[in-house]
Amino acid sequence: MSQIINHPSVDVVVLGMGVVGGTVAVELSKAGYKVVGLERGPHWEFATDFFYTKFDEWGIGFMRKFDISLAITSSTLRNNSSQFALPIRRNTIGYSGQIISEGWGVGGMAQHYGGVMGRYGPWVYQVYSDTASKYGLGFLNAAVPHQDIIDWPMTYDDYTPYYEQWEKMWGVCGTNEGPLLSGFDNYSYPLPPAPTTPVGTAFKNATEALGYSPFPGPHALATQSFVNPYGVGVQECIYEGWCAGPCNYTCEVGAKANSDFRTIPAALGTGNFELRINSYIFRLDTDSSGNIIAARYYDEQGNVNVQPGTVFFNGLWGFNIVKLMMNSGVGNNYDPVSSTGSLGRGIAMGVPPPVRTATGILDNIGGNSYTCGSGYGGAYAIRDLCDDNFDHTGLNFIGGAYPEAGFYPGGGPNNFAFFADQPTPAMIGSTFKASLKNVFLPTKTLVALAPSGVSPPVTDWYIDLDPHYTDQYGDPLPRLTIDWTMNEVNCANYLAPKCADILTKMGASNVQVSPEITTPVSHNPAWQAHMRGGARIGSDSATSVFNKWQQCWTSQNLFAAGEICKPMGDNTTAGTHPIGPMSYVAAEGIKNYLKTPGPLV
Amino acid sequence: MEQQLSPILIIIPPQYVSALLKLHEKLEDKSKEWALSGDLGEALNGVRIKPDCVEIVTSKDGAEQIHEAVKEFRPEPIAYRVQRLTRNALVGNVEQPLYAGSHYFEFQIDGIKIKVNGDLQFKVNDWGWGDKFEFTPVWVYIVNKKTAVVPLHVKLELYQNLGWSDKVEKLNLVITNRERLFHQRVR
Amino acid sequence: MLFLPISRRAFIKIGAAAAIGVGIASAIEIPILEQQISAKNNQKQSIQSQVQQTFITLGSTEQTEVEALVETIIPSDNNGAGAKEAGVIFFIDHQLAGEYGNNARMYMKGPFVSAGQSGSITVDEITYSGGTASQIFSGPQYQYNMPLREFWRTGLAALETYSNSAYGSNFENLNSIQKTQVLTDLYNNKPTSFSNILPKDFFDELMFMAWSGFLMDPVYGGNNGMVGWSLTGFTGADLGDSFNNGRNVMKLMVASSPTRYPPHSLGELQKVLGSM
């Protein structure tokens, strides 16, 4: 018979010990506050779980044993409100569809992410007002019908000091992001970039010759032995490369950053922080004013635990924040019909699939396919074709794309998984088998650039609670109603020829551009791994859930950070980097709140 | 608490990070090489040990250069000094007095003691000074500042020569572990 | 470098003595003696091969059919061994008996509704005019109320029935062109009756599991003798230079031409490095 266990109150309750939860835990416990961190998963034991003599590629890459089992909780997916949403019963098998399970355990999603970094540029923070003033609202509404874009509540310049704080703590490697991104005059990424691959060098030389400004693609990797400001460090990457690629393994030496190797140990070292694992958070208790009184969670024995606190920080992955808030009656649920409410509103896919691709073959470029660094290092990128860095007058899309080439492929032998989730009869028999001969020892290297544009939120897409499907505990699953737009397509159509020019300049042969596309990449319910929005920060409480301090408008002692909080994004990064500064803003907001409770805005 | 720490982590008290960054600021444009030694140096190599000061090894010129650069921290005057170490060397199962000689000074940054040794040498009893303590360093980024650190195998050899078998055992274990963990030859 | 010119009479090999005395004090077990490691690993290896080459769940008719199917997908030819020789069938068999076959990590609550339905449907008294989204990825496409073991049982039987009705005999007795055609028919959803499962869904599982079994570490039962890696040039679990053949990963990463190294399995790696 399960019972209810009541815990003594603490200053800060942190929900989720992933990327952002770790920041808040260490910052508040260092400041002398009593902090409890709740995590539904285990605390992985490095030697037992991650050591490379037990690289369980099937278990890690396909059974996703370091991610949450979908038998516990999942989500449902549909493209529009007229459809019945189907549950995600199983992860996608390969890379092209990134429905891979959420993080689970200390470190969260970052135990298996690719580690790609890259700041959002100034444009991302002010898409609505910039576009309206420069090109007119008519332009915006034509490029993105039903657009539901809001500005971030602070500018890129406001976030710059928090970006620096994050990068020095997380250990981001690179130099700068070129002359098109400000904030690097007296600053560069703390760690030097990983060695550039031959393909990366070819891209760098070609883009320079074309008048662009290439820079080493930043990523979250300790390219040197590194100690962060909390005194937590790791030895450098050993470049055996099983951490990237389609299966996105963990890093067994801690070089690819996650909170388990950057922030949590420092929090534990203060003596003010208690970590509780195997704690599945399912409800927030509120008082009559809407403030959070306690978090409720199930422990290993299924007991209901009640953890009261003064302040609560929601660091759950993605839509689980929305699921928890909706199930707890916190926030104002979005109604897509009347376009009122903010919780669940403003979602969009973070990384679009390749819509239109330019490809070329480089002969004898070298750089073996299987050897690898990590975190998608080794590449060069350009910002010249992203955001509003080129004139959009007369065009029919907003934003741009982020050509980058030369990544270490990585990922163990299962690079075949790049196509395994869309197998065709062409993969049967000797001809296909012959094409795999020496595929890891290429004398001809295919380089592909796919400049799919940014996916903006529209009023038709949202998260709500599914009326049919529940999790293991009986709570409704989050239902995602989401699709793609012509914005990604129009951008790809426009930029693909420019990408072909880059490939030609790289000396590629057989440079081809796939045909123009005339419809959205619709009915593709993938890429849930990089979804953003749903509990946006903003300046207007009508259209956002959290304010610029990451504080909930309707529950003053609730803070949050994560992809879910992003009003807008672009394709310069797969997503994690910009949530880092948000976590530092939240930590500061929480400290301010604890000194002076009340709305911070 | 120690048991909870993953073996791959390097852990040093955060106040040492701040102090080292301030030191780096002062030494930014200085030409002479210096490296972190002592317990802090070992901690930066993954040894679980809590330093109580920052120990720096450098050349005589380096010590003078550092001394000049940190003058706003009001270091004591630099002088050649011979100190007897609190722990004896053990040679042939016989304890012998152990001495360290260097161009030496101390100062503090934010309450953390920093000891600078220029041209450090050791001597057992009256058997003459050993070679200057020189080595090829390993590098650790203290946040964004590249810092030289005494390699573990150099410390290991030193401890072997000093007969400090407990330290030899500890460092051997760490070296062996880290060679396995990081799949590298450390020695 | 001798930091201490200890008197000639007094120099003791303290280093060697201390090394022998190293205790297992940390959380990581380090095997002390070489002999212990080899003996343990030799024992492990022989158990391993028994495990790998033993059927746990596939029935004998299923075995015949699966072997023919995977060998069609990955044939033995002048580019080396095919799926049969690689033992792919054992990979599939073991997975069908385990987590994969039992949908252990899958969301298996109802209601069960299939993807790709156009037109109105009603579920739990709510009507949806837009049907369901078509899922093009074989992972989330699966919406069947049955464990994958049963899905394979059903699919294999349905395939055999189709093979007989469309091509006149069991799959394993067709010629190679017909075999490929049967699989292509599945991909195109050509069979009009397929035991209530979508033929393409079964095609997806067949393809994925065949290639997984061929290209993953031999510990899972397939890629016997690392024949898959001999084809692709992958080195398997050789991390750094565990096998003393000069393999330097950082150099390989930026090398101007590729270098082939022999592949090694997890089992071989554990023999050299021990496990943790």
- Residue B30 confidence (pLDDT): 87
Confidence at residue C34, expressed as pLDDT on a 0 to 100 scale: 39
CB atoms closer than 10 angstroms to residue A523: 17
Using alpha carbons, select from A280, A279, A304, A307 the residue that is nearest to residue A10: A307
DSSP one-letter string for chain B? -GGGS-TTEEE--HHHHHHHHHHHHHHTT--S-EEEEHHHHHHTTT-----SSEEEEE-HHHHHHHHHHTGGG-PPPPEEEEEE-SS-EEETTEEE-EEEEEEEEEEEETTEEEEEEEEEEEEETTS-B------PPEEEEETTEEEEE--HHHHHHHHHHHT-HHHHHHHHHHHHHHHHHHTS---
Assess if residue C44 is contained within a domain. yes
Question: For residue A243, what pLDDT is reported?
Answer: 74
Q: Which tokens belong to B91?
A: 């040679």
Question: How large a percentage of chain C has pLDDT more than 90?
Answer: 58
What's the pLDDT score for residue C51?
58
Res A220 pLDDT > 50: yes
Is the distance from CB of A385 to CB of A217 less than 8 angstroms? no
Q: Give strand pairing partners of A362.
A: A445
ipTM of the complex: 0.94
- Cα C191 from Cα C187, distance rounded (Å): 10
Nearest one of B96, B23, B9 to B62, comparing CA atoms: B23
* Angle made by CA atoms A302, A307, A313, in degrees to the nearest 5: 115
The CA R_g of chain B, rounded to the nearest whole Å, is: 17
Optimal mutation site among C1, C2, C3, C7, interface B, most CBs of chain B within 10 A: C3
Q: Is A268 on the interface with B (CB under 8 A)?
A: yes
Give yes or no: residues C171 and C99 share one domain: yes
Contacts of B94 in chain C (CB under 8 A): 10
- What is the structure's pLDDT at C5? 44
Which of A302-316, A547-561, C199-213, C257-271 has the least mean pLDDT? C257-271
Model confidence pLDDT, tens digit, residues B159-185: 999 999 999 999 999 998 888 777 765
Are residue C218 and residue C121 in the same domain, yes or no?
A: no
d(CA A26, CA A24): 6
Structural domains in chain C (count): 2
Contact A561, A548 (CB under 8 A): no
- Rounded to whole angstroms, the Cα distance separating B64 from B103 reads 9
Give the β-pairing of B112-124 and B54-58: parallel
Most confident of A36-50, B102-116, C129-143, C231-245: B102-116
Residues 214 to 243 of C: which have CB under 8 A from any A CB?
Answer: 215-217, 220, 228-229, 231-237, 239-240
Q: Which two tokens stand for residue C126?
A: 């709510």
Give the separation between CA A113 and CA A256, rounded to whole angstroms. 9
Domain boundaries, chain B: 12-150
- With 80 as the cut, is the pLDDT of residue A241 above it? no
Residues 101-120 of B with CB under 8 A from A: none
C7 contacts on B by Cβ (under 8 Å): 91, 127
Q: Work out the minimum CA distance from B51 to partner chain A, whole angstroms.
A: 12
Q: Does C30 touch chain A (CB under 8 A)?
A: no
Integer CA distances (angstroms), A161 to A52, A168, A507, A536, in order: 37, 11, 40, 21
Confidence of residue A409 (pLDDT cuts 50, 70, 90): low
In this prediction, residues A413-418 reach a mean pLDDT of: 60
Asked if residue A411 has pLDDT above 70, the reply is: no
What pLDDT was estimated at residue C179?
98
- C151 and C210 inside one domain: yes
Digit-coded pLDDT (tens) for C73-103: 999 999 999 999 999 999 999 999 999 999 9
Same domain? For C171 and C131 the reply is: no
CB contact under 8 A, A227 and B17: yes
Strands A304-314 and A558-560: parallel
Closest to C231 in 3D by CA, of C55, C101, C102, C83: C83
If one counts every other C-beta atom within 10 angstroms of the C-beta of residue A601, the result is: 12
Q: Which of C10, C28, C240 sits opposite B7 (nearest CB)?
A: C28
Coil, helix or strand at residue A305: strand
What mean pLDDT is predicted for residues B16-32? 95
User: Token match 């939860």: residue?
Assistant: A21
Best C24, C134, C137, C241 residue to mutate vs chain A (most A CBs within 10 Å)? C137
- Kindly indicate the confidence band of residue A439, based on its pLDDT and cuts at 50, 70 and 90: confident
Domain locations along chain A: 4-595
Q: What is the 3-state secondary structure (H, E, C) of C74-139?
A: CCCECCECCHHHHCHHHHHHHHHHCCCCCCCCCCCCCCCCCCCCCCCEEECCEEECCCECCCCCCC
**In the predicted model, what is the mean pLDDT of residues A305-333?**
96
The encoded tokens of residue B76 equal 């004591």
Query: pLDDT for A8-53, tens place per residue?
Result: 999 999 999 999 999 999 999 999 999 999 999 999 887 678 777 7
> Do C219 and C116 lie in a common domain?
no
Mutate to test the interface with A, among B143, B147, B175 (most CBs of A within 10 A): B143
B135 Cα to chain A: minimum distance (Å): 18
Chain B residues close to C12, C-beta within 8 Å: 91-93, 163
Instruction: Output the pLDDT for position C259.
Output: 81
Distances (CA, A) of A199 to A204, A211, A378, A517, B99: 9, 18, 9, 28, 56
- Tell me: the pLDDT tens digits for C158-192? 999 999 999 999 999 999 999 999 999 999 999 99
Residue C32 resides in a domain:
no
Mapped to the 3 state alphabet, what secondary structure does chain C carry? CCCCCCCHHHCCCHHHHHHHCCCCCCCCCCCCCHHHHHHHHHHHHHHHHHHHCCCCCCCHHHHHHHHHHHHHHCCCECCECCHHHHCHHHHHHHHHHCCCCCCCCCCCCCCCCCCCCCCCEEECCEEECCCECCCCCCCCCCCCCCCHHHHHHHHHHHHHHHHHHHHCCCHHHCCHHHHHHHHHHHHCCCCCCCCCCCHHHHHHHHHHHHHHHHHCCHHHCCCHHHHHHHHHCCCECCCCCCCCCCCCHHHHHHCCCCCCCCCECHHHHHHHHCCC
Q: How confident is the model at residue A100 (pLDDT cuts 50, 70, 90)?
A: low
| Alpha carbon distances (Å) from A44 to A115, A249, A260, A471 | 19, 13, 9, 24
Residues in chain C: 276
**Residue C48 pLDDT > 80:** no
Q: Is the CB of residue C141 less than 8 Å from the CB of residue C134? A: no
- Note whether C21 contacts A: Cβ–Cβ < 8 A: no
pLDDT (0 to 100) of residue C43 = 55
Whether A509 shows a pLDDT value over 80: the answer reads yes
DSSP state at residue A110: G
Gyration radius (Cα) of chain C, Å? 26
Q: Does A172 touch chain B (CB under 8 A)?
A: no
Of B16, B178, B183, Cβ closest to residue A231: B16
Q: Which residues of C touch B85 (CB under 8 A)?
A: none
Please report, rounded to a whole number, the percentage of residues in chain B having pLDDT higher than 90.
84
Domain-located, residue C127? yes
> How many degrees, rounded to 5, is the angle at CA C74 between CA C67 and CA C262?
115
- CA pair distance A314, A293, nearest whole angstrom: 14
The structure tokens listed for C249 are: 């990963």
Over the range A162-199, which residues count as b (16 or more CB within 10 Å of their CB) and which as e? Answer: bbbbbbbbbbbbbebbbebbebbeeebbbbbbbbbbbb
pLDDT of residue B1: 40
Across the interface, of C74, C106, C215, the residue whose CB is closest to A89 is C106
Residue A1 reports pLDDT greater than 70: no
C-alpha span between A490 and A400 (Å, rounded):
10
Q: Do residues A196 and A406 lie in contact, with contact meaning Cβ atoms separated by under 8 Å?
A: yes
Please give the residue of chain B at the shortest CA–CA distance from C4: B130
**C249 located within any domain:** no
Confidence of residue A378 (pLDDT cuts 50, 70, 90): confident
Could you tell me if C86 and C213 are in contact, meaning their C-beta atoms sit under 8 angstroms apart?
A: yes
DSSP A332: -
pLDDT at A474 over 70: yes
Check if C244 contacts B (Cβ < 8 Å): no
User: Cβ contacts (< 8 Å) between A234 and chain B: which residues?
Assistant: 8-10
Q: What is the mean pLDDT of residues A297-322?
A: 95
Instruction: For residue A590, give the H/E element and its range.
Output: helix A579-595
Average pLDDT over residues A239-265: 81
C-facing residues of A in 10-49 (CB < 8 A) are 47-48
Chain A residues within an 8 Å CB radius of B184: 238
Please give the Cα distance from B177 to A557 (Å, whole number).
45
pTM: 0.93
Who has greater pLDDT, A95 or A140? A140
Same domain, C72 and C184: yes
- In this structure, the answer to whether residues C116 and C211 fall within a common structural domain is no
Across the interface, do B44 and A47 touch by the CB < 8 Å criterion? no
Determine the residue type at A207: T
Q: Which one is the CATH code of B12-150: 3.10.580.10, 3.30.460.40, 3.20.20.150, 3.40.50.10470?
A: 3.30.460.40
With CB atoms and an 8 Å threshold, state whether B9 touches A240.
Answer: no
Residue B158 has pLDDT above 80, yes or no: yes
Q: Which of A476, A471, A488, A470 lies closest to A527 in space, CA to CA?
A: A488
Phi (first) and psi of residue C269, to 5 degrees: -65, -40
Q: Which residues of A touch C128 (CB under 8 A)?
A: 82-84
Tell me how far apart the alpha carbons of residues A200 and A372 are, in angstroms, rounded to a whole number: 13
User: Could you give the 3-state DSSP secondary structure of residue A124?
Assistant: helix
Question: Is the predicted pLDDT of residue C21 greater than 50, yes or no?
Answer: no
pLDDT interval class at A427 (50, 70, 90): very high
User: What residues are paired with B57 via a beta bridge?
Assistant: B35, B117
Cβ atoms within 10 A of the Cβ of A207, count? Answer: 24
Among residues A309, A325, A405, the alpha carbon closest in space to that of A365 is found at A405
Using the predicted structure, report yes or no on whether residue C197 has a pLDDT greater than 60: yes
Handedness of CA A205, A209, A210, A214 (dihedral sign): positive
In CATH, A4-595 is 3.50.50.60: yes
Same domain, residue pair C212 and C166: yes
Q: Looking at CA atoms only, how far is residue C230 from chain B in angstroms?
A: 24
Report residue B160: phi and psi, to 5°. -60, -45
The DSSP secondary-structure symbol of A143 reads: H
pLDDT of residue C256: 72
For residue A498, the tally of other CB atoms under 10 A from its CB is: 20
Is the separation of the CB atoms in A418 and C212 below 8 Å?
no
pLDDT of residue A198: 87
At residue C19, does pLDDT exceed 90?
A: no
Q: How confident is the model at residue A415 (pLDDT cuts 50, 70, 90)?
A: low
Position A375 pLDDT exceeds 80:
no
Q: Considering just the CA atoms, what is the radius of gyration of chain A in Å?
A: 23
Structural domain containing residue C124: 109-144
Residue type, C80: G
A226 vs A408, higher pLDDT: A226
* Residue A553 at interface with chain B, using a CB cutoff of 8 Å: no
* A402 close to A571: Cβ distance less than 8 angstroms: yes
Rounded to the nearest integer, the mean pLDDT of chain C is 82
Instruction: Kindly state whether residue C12 falls inside one of the protein's structural domains.
Output: no
Q: Does A381 touch chain B (CB under 8 A)?
A: no
pLDDT at C1 (0 to 100): 40
Beta strands in A315-439 (DSSP E): 345-348, 358-363, 380-381, 404-405
**Mean pLDDT for chain A?**
90
Quick one: A300 exposed, middle or buried, by C-beta within 10 A (0-12, 13-18, 19+)? exposed
Report which DSSP code applies to A376.
T
Residues 139-198 on C with a CB inside 8 Å of A are 139-140, 142-143, 180, 183-184, 187
